[in-house]
Amino acid sequence: MLDGAVPVPAEAADRYRAAGFWTDQTLGSLVRGAAAARPDATALVDAARSLTYTDLDRAADDLAHGFAALGLRRGDRVVVQLPSASELVEVLVALGRSGIVPVLALPAHRRAEVEYFAAHTGAVALVVGGVEAGFDHAALAREVAAAVASVRHVVVGAPPAAHGEQPDAPSPFTAHSLDDLRRADLTAVRGPFEDAAHPADVVLLQLSGGTTGTPKLIPRTHADYLYSVRESARICGLGPGSVYLATLPVAHNYALTSPGVLGVLHAGGTVVLSPHGAPDTAFALVERHRVTHVALVPPLAHVWAASPLVAAYDLSSLEVLQVGGAKLGTSAAERLLDVFGDTLQQVFGMAEGLVCYTRAGDPREVVVGTQGRPISPADEVLVVDDHDEPVPPGHPGHLLTRGPYTIRGYYRAPEHDARAFTADGFYRTGDLVVRDAAGYLTVVGRAKEQINRGGEKIAPAEVENHLRAHPDVLDASVVGEPDEYLGERATARVVARPGTAAPTGPVLRRFLRERGIAAYKIPDRFETVEALATTAVGKVDRAHPAPAPAAAGTEPQ
């Protein structure tokens, strides 16, 4: 197994194999079955093109040969930051065949995150898009490659304007385009790629929502990941006739696996990739492609339910409208049922593993009021008090879980693991839930230091570290506050260094952007305070707004 990943104990692994949960399937083999069975069926549609299963299968082989020609091998890490388009899927399947391990950066990530992912994993290559939404990812990749010694190659997707230009010589890395990798002149070897990956290998490194100063990476194996994908596809009723509209970033675990793009490819259906989920674009795609399944986060679901365009398009093909990533309130759930009929499915999942779904046929009050029940009969769920003692059904407690697709540890993070997992391997999700007698979970709160901004997760400690780097900032805390649309938004409380004026919101916003953090992590509001509130044990108190004397001033948005 990949050095730095924590294996499942042999006894449990044997059980999962014996039960048929873990099979020999790998990500690379996922598409081969469908390509053989239905070669001309459409696998992927994006704004630029449409690929059959045969096209996708061949593209993955060509790219796998190309990565091999660059000298990349099974177990190597590469940071992948591509937009949600067909190339991302081709690259993931190709890497899945090679056994090369992608770190799935989101399109929103910037220098601080991408550089950290590359350095922490010792990545040998970066695979990135060109200019997307006004941001030059290729230029960012070149900067990161120059700064991180392990990076030898930068591979750029859709050729950027500067494609072919090499950075000022001498350069420690070489630049290529994905088209170079597909081309026969790079490698004489063509045709099917002999899969190098083993089912027990790490298939990819997912990003944790995070609670700490540095993001944590999640090593998932082919066997565990694909078990959750196959079961998710079954639970969500996917088949060859299914059409899934991907409106969320496909690199995110939800849109990739619950059942997401991989679930659809497993089932032999069609994935329609949209750059975003705004009703005008998304509804037109639903109508045109007769979309059956779509995954939303609550803020987007609110926009869909409130959109006057609902009446302007034929949305009658929709069978399953998933909402997950953050808590969906009961009145919002009722409204979705009113507008979209009996299509709502709640999804409560985490990139670390456990995923819960409400099921087709569940009573209305279950679909409205709960976040579903786990995928697997082997998912072990404990709801405990602050001393890890179980609470009775119907009482709130901390959710701990262990099972056939939940990690036993983060990548290269043993100290954090000691806190995030119990001694017997249960993951401490940080979520507060109530479990009913039938095993359905309702999320009632959160004990972890994380802000869930409409499904996008922010680790306050990470943003606070960046704020403290400002020369005029003595201290800072970032807290979540209720927001009608997003569920939560982030507010930064900033203490100025003595003798300096506190930097204003716009100044800090620019400062954070220049530090190279993703835009969604930049606080929505900034407040100046004289000191941060502390708890009885001297830790920063995020639950209470300000100490006495009260806030010294509030910066406008």
Contact segment (CB under 6 A) with ligand J2J among 27-35, 84-92, 158-166, 344-352 equals 344-352
Q: Which of 59, 141, 68 is nearest to 99 (CA)?
A: 68
Binding mask 448-487 for ligand J2J (x = CB under 6 A): ----x----x------------------------------
Closest distance between ligand J2J and the C-beta of residue 194, in Å? Answer: 31
Q: Which of 96, 107, 219, 325 binds ligand J2J (CB under 6 A)?
A: 325
Q: Please list every residue from 500 through 539 that binds ligand J2J, using CB under 6 A.
A: none
Contact 336, 321 (CB under 8 A): yes
Name the percent of the chain in helix, strand, coil, to the closest 5: 30, 25, 45
Q: How far is CA 62 from CA 34, 174, 411, in A?
A: 18, 20, 30
- Return the number of the residue (29 or 257) whose C-beta is nearest ligand J2J: 257
- Which residues, 6+ apart, have CB-to-CB distance to 352 below 8 Å? 208, 218, 406, 407, 427, 429
Contact 402, 395 (CB under 8 A): no
Amino acid code (one letter) for 175 = A
Q: Which of 324, 409, 480, 516 binds ligand J2J (CB under 6 A)?
A: 324
Q: What backbone torsions phi and psi does residue 490 show, to the nearest 5 degrees?
A: -105, 135
- Which residues share a beta bridge with 134? none
Strands (E), 178-216: 202-207
- Running DSSP on this structure, what letter comes out for residue 233? H
Contact segment (CB under 6 A) with ligand J2J among 11-19, 60-68, 343-351, 543-551 equals 343-351
Return contacts of 33-42, CB within 8 angstroms, 24+ apart: 33/268, 34/265, 34/266, 34/268, 37/268, 38/240, 38/268, 41/240, 41/268, 41/270, 42/270
- Asked if residue 431 binds ligand J2J (CB under 6 A), the reply is yes
- Asked if residue 491 binds ligand J2J (CB under 6 A), the reply is no
Q: What backbone torsions phi and psi does residue 103 show, to the nearest 5 degrees?
A: -100, 120
Peptide bond into 471 cis (omega under 30): no
Amino acid code (one letter) for 220 = R
Contact 420, 400 (CB under 8 A): no
- Return the number of the residue (76 or 431) whose C-beta is nearest ligand J2J: 431
Residue 397: its H or E element = strand 396-402
Contact 131, 141 (CB under 8 A): no
- Asked if residue 347 binds ligand J2J (CB under 6 A), the reply is yes
Contact segment (CB under 6 A) with ligand J2J among 92-100, 119-127, 322-330, 383-391 equals 322-330
Which residue lies nearest ligand J2J, judged by its C-beta? 349
- Return the number of the residue (155 or 320) whose C-beta is nearest ligand J2J: 320
What does the DSSP assignment read for 439-470? S-EEEEEE-SS-EEETTEEE-HHHHHHHHHTS
Closest distance between ligand J2J and the C-beta of residue 221, in Å? Answer: 16
Cα angle 535, 540, 542 (rounded to 5 degrees) comes to 90
Q: Which of 68, 254, 45 is nearest to 53 (CA)?
A: 45
- Which residues, 6+ apart, have CB-to-CB distance to 451 below 8 Å? 457, 458, 460, 478, 479, 480, 488, 489, 490
Displacement of CA 171 from its chain's centroid (Å): 32
- Asked if residue 371 binds ligand J2J (CB under 6 A), the reply is yes
Specify the 3-state DSSP secondary structure of 486: coil
Q: Which of 52, 81, 98, 257 binds ligand J2J (CB under 6 A)?
A: 257
Closest distance between ligand J2J and the C-beta of residue 205, in Å? Answer: 13
Contact segment (CB under 6 A) with ligand J2J among 54-62, 66-74, 136-144, 325-333 equals 325-333
Closest distance between ligand J2J and the C-beta of residue 346, in Å? Answer: 6
Q: Which of 8, 351, 383, 400 binds ligand J2J (CB under 6 A)?
A: 351
- Asked if residue 102 binds ligand J2J (CB under 6 A), the reply is no
Q: Which of 449, 466, 458, 473 is nearest to 541 (CA)?
A: 449
Q: Which of 355, 473, 490, 496 binds ligand J2J (CB under 6 A)?
A: 355
- Asked if residue 83 binds ligand J2J (CB under 6 A), the reply is no
Binding mask 411-430 for ligand J2J (x = CB under 6 A): ------------------x-
Binding mask 179-218 for ligand J2J (x = CB under 6 A): ------------------------------x---------
Q: How many residues bind ligand J2J (CB under 6 A)?
A: 23
Number of C-beta neighbours around residue 479 at 10 A:
23
Q: Which of 52, 81, 247, 346 binds ligand J2J (CB under 6 A)?
A: 346
- Asked if residue 332 binds ligand J2J (CB under 6 A), the reply is no
- Return the number of the residue (154 or 366) whose C-beta is nearest ligand J2J: 366
Closest distance between ligand J2J and the C-beta of residue 365, in Å? Answer: 16
Contact 492, 522 (CB under 8 A): no
- Asked if residue 227 binds ligand J2J (CB under 6 A), the reply is no
Closest distance between ligand J2J and the C-beta of residue 146, in Å? Answer: 31
Q: Which of 67, 117, 304, 348 binds ligand J2J (CB under 6 A)?
A: 348
- Asked if residue 129 binds ligand J2J (CB under 6 A), the reply is no
Contact 469, 516 (CB under 8 A): no
- Return the number of the residue (197 or 375) whose C-beta is nearest ligand J2J: 375
Closest distance between ligand J2J and the C-beta of residue 257, in Å? Answer: 6
Contact segment (CB under 6 A) with ligand J2J among 38-46, 59-67, 283-291, 350-358 equals 350-358
Q: Which of 177, 253, 358, 528 binds ligand J2J (CB under 6 A)?
A: 253
Closest distance between ligand J2J and the C-beta of residue 227, in Å? Answer: 13
Q: Which residues bind ligand J2J (CB under 6 A)?
A: 209, 253-254, 257-258, 324-327, 346-351, 355, 371, 429, 431, 443, 446, 452, 457
